Chain A
């Protein structure tokens, strides 16, 4: 039971991470591959501040704020670039940040990682049990989810989708594309950073391996399987991808094989979805990353 609650909390946090990545990838159509760097910076900011005794919620907000700064830095070169070039520059930022997580030992403790990241204390009670932390996370993620849902069902989101479908048409309509893109980056990185903070708090320990290219593949799979430009799809995608390795544990497989098998299944799912159902389970027809 305790373990199920842990998995449910993980699903809630990854749903936030997936939806935020989907804003850039699915809604506005930017091939953004730096998400683990952004929420990783959020997670590190949160971990360092919360361990240092900063108020839990303040630390979460700071995680969002620092992630937003990184998000804007990542956004800068993408404004001038198109399709693959955007993909490579954002992937480049992921590799740079991952390298910094490993190498800036004075701040991140390098490959050793940061242990003992605290859970929140509310009215003098520390939420150390999985049940209390699950309830806490569900409340926070639901609030974030409602905010994101409103953003993604507003005129703002319609404009993002126009930019994705046809940038020239959006310009003709008098839309300031750069402003919209920067705002999308800010929303993604702010809430992504908070998601990273929650993830750090749930795991209690973070190291650079939590924010590498494998994580990118994980989140990208969630976005794709759930569906591009789909709020609920992202939640479905996150749930399925988190549950796959758990389902594998019930099969009679040597533990050493579970890791590769899990990745094999992710790979197979991506291939099959791309060939037969590129819009994902709940996605709509979109015109993503075209020139």
Chain B
């Protein structure tokens, strides 16, 4: 059991990453009522745009981070205006399938520019800063500490934004009922654009953080999307605290089971989705999702 503290730390890091992606996803889902398959690809695109500015262009970390977040936020805004808005009031499957198309297009564009292989931000011959804590039982890198802190700070900021700011209140009103929000004088189109911009910016930061910790390749977006979907559905869709709980369940279950048993780590996705389907069988609308009537009345 001497490895338990290390596994706990790895689980926390994984949960922090999934929570950042899932938070943005659950915001768009709660308002527009479709799963945005392109969300993970937007995070992936963020990681690659950062690669371009940071490694190829030679900008510093913070300027590159700001430029990337702005570009990806603008991309999110552009995607909403040109593709999701025209189909917003159509049948549900249309925006969902559309987002699959967008996700393929983004990953194809990244592959055309950067190739299909893996990249890394790390500079050769430069060892990452590593800390040993808890009587040297746990090894944690500086990047991983930054991931956990940024995730906590960004998600707390998001909670505060939704609860206290005027725009945040408008977002909650629109996600509750678009017609009533419009009657009350809220500009629904503008609110949804802001929502997409925020979600995409968050995704970009998440993508960059993950790429710092691991590496980046054009296939990572899909993996992120899938884990984030599982998280928001486990927690109960459209609820921010549900998405975060879902992310924690997924981050912990995949790492704890793989770390503490003999099951090889290539089973991670299989484990996550087996748990996911078992939860869906017993709680069809997620842990915080309420009952059938409540979901249908939305």
Contacts and interface: CB of A to CB of B under 8 A. Distances in A.
Nearest to A102: B266
9 contacts: A95-B226, A259-B111, A264-B105, A266-B101, A267-B102, A274-B97, A275-B83, A278-B94, A289-B93
Contacts of B281: 76-77, 80
A89 B281 CA distance: 10
Contact of A270 (B104, B115, B276): B104
Interface of A: 31, 76-77, 80-85, 87-89, 91-93, 95-96, 98-100, 102-103, 213, 217, 220, 224, 256-257, 259-264, 266-271, 274-275, 278, 287-291
Given A85-B233, A256-B115, A261-B108, 13 more contacts: A77-B277, A87-B35, A88-B276, A93-B277, A99-B273, A213-B222, A220-B100, A267-B102, A267-B104, A271-B98, A274-B97, A275-B98, A289-B92
A260 B83 contact: no
B83 A264 contact: no
Contact of B270 (A82, A99, A274): A99
Given A91-B226, A213-B222, A267-B103, A84 B34 contact: yes
Contacts of B116: 259-260
A288 B266 contact: no
B50 interface: no
Query: A-B pairs with the 10 shortest C-beta distances?
Result: A270-B101, A267-B105, A99-B270, A267-B104, A264-B108, A260-B111, A92-B273, A274-B98, A289-B93, A271-B101
B91 A96 contact: no
Contacts, number: 140
Nearest to B38: A267
A256 B108 CA distance: 12
A260 B113 CA distance: 10
Given A99-B269, A287-B91, A84 B98 contact: no
B45 to A, nearest CB: 13
Contacts of A85: 233, 280, 284-285
Interface band, chain B: 35 or more
B237 A271 contact: no
A217 B104 contact: yes
Contacts of A260: 108-109, 111-112, 116
A214 B112 CA distance: 17
B4 interface: no
Contact of A264 (B92, B109, B226): B109
B286 to A, nearest CB: 9
B274 A96 contact: yes
A217 B100 CA distance: 8
Contacts of B96: 31, 84, 87, 289
A290 B90 CA distance: 10
B185 interface: no
B92 A100 contact: no
B6 to A, nearest CB: 24
B112 A220 contact: no
B91 A278 contact: yes
B28 to A, nearest CB: 12
A291 B233 contact: no
B280 A81 contact: yes
A84 B35 contact: yes
B78 interface: no
Interface string B97-129: 110111111111101100110000000000000
B81 to A, nearest CB: 12
From B97, B280, B284, residue with most partner A Cβ within 10 Å: B97
A262 B116 CA distance: 14
